[in-house]
Amino acid sequence: MNDFDWAAMADMLEFEGEAHSPYVRQALEELDHLRPRRVLDIGSGPGVAACRLAAVFPQAEVTAVDGTPELLARAEQRAERLGVRLRTQLAEFPAGLADLGPADLVWSGQAVHHVGDQQGALDQLAELLEPGGVLAIVEGGLPTRWLPGDLGFGRPGLQARLDAVLADRFNQMRAELPCSVSVVEDWPGMLRTAGLAEARSKTFLVDHPAPLSDGLREWVRQTLARYRAGLGEHLDAGDVATLDRLLDPADPASVDQRADLFVLTAKTVHFGRRPER
């Protein structure tokens, strides 16, 4: 994967995984007919989805796979805390996939877009499947919303402008990846190209209405602080000032004190099955 300091982002990644966990539960309901013996979560991060997989498929050997040791340690701690059986394996994506061995279910959440050749990564993930095995890829969906369009200060529509900057930064990140390949992101079509059958997509809602729990509120704070640090130079002075107010814990209009803070988004999961021999 490209050069992110994933270890430094561990807290935010775990908060984000917990915030998004409703879509994982819904997506796994689509797979509750499976009886996998071995499950891989590729690019597992701190193990939020991996632990859910372990809870849903207690009979299976579930392995969280990631290239960051600190995140795998988080996954192990989370599994112990939740009382689920979880293995971990250190491996880069996609370079380390060949050493993982076959699985009946492969899950990968928002990892493929960090690889220059997305179709090549899907091809390698599909190769991990046993005949009849299922690949579930999380990519796309809708931007997250936390705040009303008019905050009562600053110019309305802050989040839409953040979305535009984030989209530009994402496209730049993709263009700068090694061996970056432009591809029409028709994910079911890409899964079929990888040799999988029954390819389909389904989108799941994540809806945490106001008022938010402390954990969700902290995730919003950390995310906005990251945007302020990483995107500030791409925003006008008014939007920077608005972010500063949102991040000032002493300000009654901050994300720490607002009663109208919420989380609303949607995540799309793409499924495909390896044909029986």
Tens digit of each residue's pLDDT (9 = 90 or more) over 190-229: 999 999 999 999 999 999 999 999 999 999 999 999 999 9
pLDDT-above-70 percentage for the chain: 99
Q: What is the pLDDT of residues 140-169, one digit of tens each?
A: 999 999 999 999 999 999 999 999 999 999
Whether 45 and 248 have beta carbons less than 8 Å apart is answered as: no
E-assigned strands of 169-262? 197-208
3-state SS track over 104-170: EEEEEECCHHHCCCHHHHHHHHHHCEEEEEEEEEEEEEEEEECCCCCCCCCCCCHHHHHHHHHHHHH
Tell me the pTM: 0.95
Q: Is the pLDDT of residue 3 over 70?
A: no
Domain ranges of the chain: 7-273
Summary mean pLDDT of the chain: 96
Q: Is the pLDDT of residue 1 over 50?
A: no
Q: C-alpha distances in angstroms, 43 versus 33, 112, 182, 188, 228?
A: 24, 9, 22, 20, 26
Average pLDDT on 253-270 reads 98
DSSP one-letter code for 266: E
Measured at the CA of 82, the angle between CA 80 and CA 86, to 5 degrees, comes to 55
pLDDT-above-90 percentage for the chain: 98
* Assigned architecture for domain 7-273: 3-Layer(aba) Sandwich (3.40)
Whether 105 and 39 have beta carbons less than 8 Å apart is answered as: yes
Q: C-alpha distances in angstroms, 67 versus 43, 45, 183, 240, 257?
A: 7, 9, 25, 34, 37
